[in-house]
Amino acid sequence: MGREQPIFSTRAHVFQIDPNTKKNWVPTSKHAVTVSYFYDSTRNVYRIISLDGSKAIINSTITPNMTFTKTSQKFGQWADSRANTVYGLGFSSEHHLSKFAEKFQEFKEAARLAKEKSQEKMELTSTPSQESAGGDLQSPLTPESINGTDDERTPDVTQNSEPRAEPTQNALPFSHSAGDRTQGLSHASSAISKHWEAELATLKGNNAKLTAALLESTANVKQWKQQLAAYQEEAERLHKRVTELECVSSQANAVNTHKTELNQTIQELEETLKVKEEEIERLKQEIDNARELQEQRDSLTQKLQEVEIRNKDLEGQLSDLEQRLEKSQSEQEAFRNNLKTLLEILDGKIFELTELRDNLAKLLECS
């Protein structure tokens, strides 16, 4: 039985669709890895295989109904119904993506022809197909066997140094920069602080008004209590006076008239007393409302203190992020300087090699 061999290899960043959301991409490799087409001549089976160390992150058998779709200049994807997933590959250039897509179409067509030949053979011989029996078998692979041949393998030196291609369609947005997070925290902290400052100013104004109203109501209650006591004394005095007048028979008519007037005065006083009592009840309710508002003010003041503490924490996080941003910028600047120095050295070496080649050419001509 022949061994499965790589027939084309390239390098790419590997992704798989999130099995939960079926929308976002999940990277399965931290860096670009080798992705190879394998062909099993015994079973006429083509497979796409990629290893990250000793772990197989792609093991997809190509079938005639598969389709490789280019979703951007450097990213492509295909669905594997057997593995119940969608694979995505991010290449370093559009050329590598096109080459991989061409090979995918070529091997897909080869798989279709092999399947048709197998079906024809099965119809002619009326024997069970060996392809279905062996389709689930996997040949043992090693990282060395996936690297491919020297002629078709993509050079590693340039690809390792090139930027990573990210999925642009149906892809998961990557995290923002540290500067964006810093700016967001600053805006959030400023907005929260202004909001609670305005709330505190409103509460202070309401508290001052309620305090003044409470003091005024307390003074009015005391005054109304004094008036009520005076009215009660007056009513008692008038009752006594009526009794005295009734005892005087000689002044019966005057007493009756005066009694009527007194009764009217008493009714008026009773009505006034009733109004004052209602006013007192109303003031008591206002006092209770004022106490409730005071409790609400205390609660909001406590919340404001908690927000101020949280604001300080956010300011600390903002300061930490700013320091980290400055450190990252300085590290990037140092890396750029080192890269510039390295480029200058390489330019010098290239110039020396050019001079050496010219001198060797002259020596050859002279000889």
* Single-letter amino acid code for the residue at 112: R
More confident residue, 7 or 259: 7
DSSP bridge pairs for 60: 48
- To 10 degrees, what angle do helices 252-366 and 178-247 make? 180
Distance CA 137, CA 124 (A): 25
pLDDT at residue 186 in the model: 59
Name, in order, each residue with C-beta under 8 angstroms of 209's C-beta and a sequence gap of 6 or more. none
pLDDT by residue (tens digit) across 228-260?
Answer: 888 888 887 887 787 778 776 655 666 677 888
C-beta of residue 102 within 8 angstroms of C-beta of residue 42: no
Indicate whether this model's pTM tops 0.85: no
Residue 154 has pLDDT above 50, yes or no: no
